[in-house]
Structure 1
């Protein structure tokens, strides 16, 4: 059960000061968010925000809390305290007075539908064709007509270079092809925010470039907000507006990509990048 202690809306506490945004309400906002697994505190009063349209990459060693942030945003995990807001709306819980109360399911779904995610493992339905995988949620969750959903799916398949695999079973595809279908499936829900969790980690090195190319094009041609966890430092450098270095559930450094990768100021960041970049 989450801690019944509301965050302080007027001060910045915990691991990092709130990032102010120049274009109004942040797309994503964490206020004093706590996440524990048993006695292990993964996030300790974490504060950060992502502005609308920003591309923010989280870097850091395994176990530092990066993927936990994405899982909280996908409601695959529940915070033990603090607030998570999407476009200013409480996501799963809110405080009424000094009480922590759960958001009604109908209201939660409305906010949840603004967020899409592409996972390390593709999580496609193996018994469905490529097209069926992409139209399933738009038809049954968003209520689109099948005709409209198919039209949108075909546009997305063209965008990710998979038009010729429209009717193939996902089990017939390579890993890189499946990941491109997974990206199209996430975009088919027309999310305002796209979460990317190590989307190339399960792929053979020779096909990583194809998937990263698709994501670069999405970043270049859309205004979708992106929050990425990746060990592909060159990709992070090319796509991101901001890079956050995590260690032990805290942001130890924040900078633009050029500064982060050429002149990091924190010793922990320097150590990590030296190990990752050689």
Structure 2
């Protein structure tokens, strides 16, 4: 699925800088993700990919530059020549447009599967319990977990917990879904099940996706754009077919050879 460019990107990074001490993780990063795009970030560990997702989840704050969601400054904006933090209420409203599925499942252990999914819609979005339950049941059916609605997380396998985590993220009706190495904590034999769920979401919805993954086959199948990162910068950008069959940058060629030859 290839998104048609719109005048306002779903996500835009403008000259974003992020440091951890003396380590510059993102160095003047600029890129856009159009509405409905499925964009995968690839590259070696430590290249800044997960930091991008954490900035979009407001788990980290940039040290400079602008991050925009649907054209709205997300955490900071320039007023004259000053880079200032936007009001918390405004930031929270924009933040609700973004959902994330993490490497670790982060389910509430004391809640059932159904309660894990309905908690956010009821208490954050203000939905009625009946409406939240109805939507949760639809999503559990979609991810193949309907029969586990009353189970606790410790009664589920890792793959089952990740499918619940995907349903929980979708229950918040995000416009943008961030996926951070969602199969890295799973046993190899159940990776395909989780990736199948994500493929179905990509094929049947217009949600914007920004993914970090080392599953190159999945990246090739689900993405319409792939960005290769190294040392906090984009070194190459292409459609999946070009990226995985005819990359032009030496760093991309070396990285893909190392990953695909494993």
Pair in the same fold by TM > 0.5: yes
Deviation at 1:22, TM superposition (A): 2.3
Does the alignment pair 1:120 with 2:66? no
Deviation of 1:24 after TM superposition, in Å, equals 1.6
Alignment match of 1:143 (pick from 102, 105, 126) = 126
Matching of residues 66-105 of structure 1 within 5 Å: 66-105=49-88
Number of aligned residues: 258
The C-alpha deviation readout for 1:241-267, integer Å capped at 9, x for no partner, is 000000000000000000000000000
In 1, distance between residues paired with 2:234 and 2:167? 31
SS in 1 for 2:173: coil
User: Does 2:237 align with 1:254?
Assistant: yes
2:228 maps to 245
The aligned residue for residue 61 of structure 1 is: 44
Structure 2: give runs of 5+ residues left out of the alignment. Answer: none
2:35 aligned to 39, 42, 52, which one?
Answer: 52
**Shift of the alpha carbon at 1:101?**
1.5
1:193 aligns with 2:176: yes
Structure 1's unaligned 5+ residue stretches are 1-20
- Aligned runs of 1:1-278 on 2, under 5 Å? 22-278=5-261
Q: Secondary structure at the match of 2:121?
A: helix
Distance 1:45 1:267 in 2: 22
**Deviation, structure 1 residue 218:** 0.1
Moved over 4 A (4+): none
Cα distance in structure 2, aligned partners of 1:249 and 1:104: 28
1:213 and 1:22 map into 2 onto residues whose CA distance is 27
1:99 Cα deviation after fit: 1.4
Contact 2:5 2:35 in 1 (8 A): no
The secondary structure found in structure 2 opposite 1:202 is coil
Separation in 2 of the partners of 1:95 and 1:212? 40
Cα shift readout 1:99-134 (whole Å, capped 9, x = no counterpart): 122111111111000000000000000000000000
Q: C-alpha separation between the residues in 2 aligned to 1:22 and 1:156?
A: 29
Counterparts of 1:109 and 1:159 in 2: how far apart (Å)?
28
The 3-state SS of whatever aligns with 1:30 is strand
Compute the RMSD of aligned alpha carbons: 0.6
Q: CA deviation at 1:190?
A: 0.3
TM-score, structure 2 normalization: 0.98
CA–CA distance in structure 2, aligned partners of residues 114 and 267 of structure 1: 37
**What TM-score does the superposition give when structure 1 sets the normalisation length?**
0.92
Alpha-carbon distance between aligned partners in 2 of 1:85 and 1:46, rounded to the nearest angstrom: 13
For residues 153 and 27 of structure 2, the distance between their equivalents in structure 1, rounded to whole angstroms, comes to: 40
What CA deviation, in whole Å up to 9, does each residue of 1:175-209 have, x standing for no partner? 00000000000000000000000000000000000
SS at match of 2:47: coil
Aligned equivalents of 2:171, 2:103: Cα separation in 1? 18
SS at match of 1:158: helix
